[in-house]
Amino acid sequence: MSLTLGQPAPDFTSKDQDGNPVKLSDYRGKKVVLYFYPKDSTPGCTAQACNLRDNHKELTDAGYVVLGISPDTEKRHQNFIAKNELPFTLISDEDKSVHALYDTWKLKKFMGKEFMGTVRTTFIIDENGNLENIIEKVKTKEHTAQII
């Protein structure tokens, strides 16, 4: 499934780091940064999360709500948030159902090996729930600048 700008962002319900349900449509009326990343506590994912953390006030002042999503468990998300003092919600997508909606679970290659994994992608969703921007070439250390 290929997503295009202007179309409604696929709605979903999943669990946050504390096991609470998170439904994308509950954020209608706000701009959402929905970022898919491969794995908690890896160098690139930590750099990306910390860039969003360090610029969180700038993002919220611009009206954005930040939601990170990966296949990691709620417990791993709790540890990642605590270790890096992240001020935003992380969503657990262990069954990869949300990844399927956003087409971010794909065949990847690394060091000559092929495997299925999360393709780092950020979706900017406008107040009406439509896709405003899709960032596919994420710069982990400069991600906020790509968003704003």
Q: Which of 111, 105, 96 is nearest to 12 (CA)?
A: 96
* 50 carries an active-site annotation: no
Q: Are strands 31-36 and 64-70 parallel, antiparallel or unpaired?
A: parallel
**Exposure of 45 by Cβ count < 10 A (0-12 exposed, 13-18 middle, 19+ buried)?**
buried
- Catalytically annotated residue among 22, 45, 52, 138: 45
| Beta-carbon contacts of residue 23 (< 8 Å; ≥ 6 apart) | 11, 12, 13
Active site residues: 45
